[in-house]
Structure 1
């Protein structure tokens, strides 16, 4: 047995109900009944909470990987700069022009190599053991 229920809804909501009913080829009553049933279902809140928990867990893992990669990048740069400053002797003034030209040439080679690695999907942080992205 079915009972009639008259209710007032905003025009925009009625329009959305009509659109959904047309797309799904259902009656408006069926759309509203399914929505109310879903809202009143005791599992509805649990399902939403579980889905939200899964999303938060995934975001937490992604942030942990980003933090790890950032630490690796920072340490790599610091180690390189310390090493470079330690072993690089000052260049006499008469040799600076040729040293700068050689530096530009080396930098272009570096950028080219970096571009190739990125195209191949190789990433430096993934070369470290431990918490690797899946």
Structure 2
């Protein structure tokens, strides 16, 4: 046997759970446990293994950064929308006379309860309210679907590029 093909025997201690998973993987792949451990060690000791791990980590971090930026953008839109609504509401709402305030509170309570019920139903359906309102205003759903498909394709392309 040549020197290049000789092997060195090691006695290792590993966690019981790792041993079980190693047994399962060897049986599933139809290879020896030694070959799995040797491949894992070769990968770990490879000079470019650290670069590969770093590249994979950078890719994940980039994807998380893009997702965070989308969340931040959506949150800013929500804040601005709410602020605009509150400003509009406060601008156009007229004060009620004292005699009508109790009835207005009761009506407000009933409307709020109805709002919460509608919100719950809407969230269970899982559809976008913005899309529903847009469809009511502009029922050209084919154009909307094409735009949504284009936006999704662009997002996938951006994620693939990163």
TM-score by length of 1: 0.74
Instruction: Work out whether 1:19 is the aligned partner of 2:24.
Output: no
Partner of residue 43, structure 2 = 38
- Kindly report which structure 2 residues correspond to 1:1-134, keeping only aligned pairs within 5 A, or say none: 1=2, 2-7=5-10, 9=12, 11-13=13-15, 15=16, 18-23=19-24, 24-25=26-27, 26-118=31-123, 119-124=125-130
8 Å contact kept, 1:21–1:28: yes
CA shift, 1:34, in A, is 1.1
Q: For the structure 1 residues 21 and 86, does the alpha-carbon distance in structure 2 shift closer, same or farther, using more than 3 Å as the test?
A: closer
Give the conservation status (yes or no) of the 8 Å contact 1:18–1:28: no
Task: Report the CA distance shift for 1:84/1:31 in structure 2 as closer, same or farther (over 3 A).
Answer: same
Q: 1:46 deviation in Å?
A: 3.0
Deviation at 1:29, TM superposition (A): 2.5
- What secondary structure sits across from 2:14 in the alignment? helix
SS in 2 for 1:85: helix
Computed over aligned residues only, the root mean square deviation of the Cα atoms, in angstroms, reads 2.9
Structure 1 residue 3, shift from structure 2 partner = 2.7
Q: SS where residue 83 of structure 1 aligns?
A: helix
Which runs of 5 or more residues in structure 2 are unaligned?
Answer: 135-146, 156-162
Classify the secondary structure of the residue corresponding to 1:42: coil
How far, CA to CA, are the matches of 1:109 and 1:71 in structure 2? 27
| Runs of 4+, deviation exceeding 6 Å | none
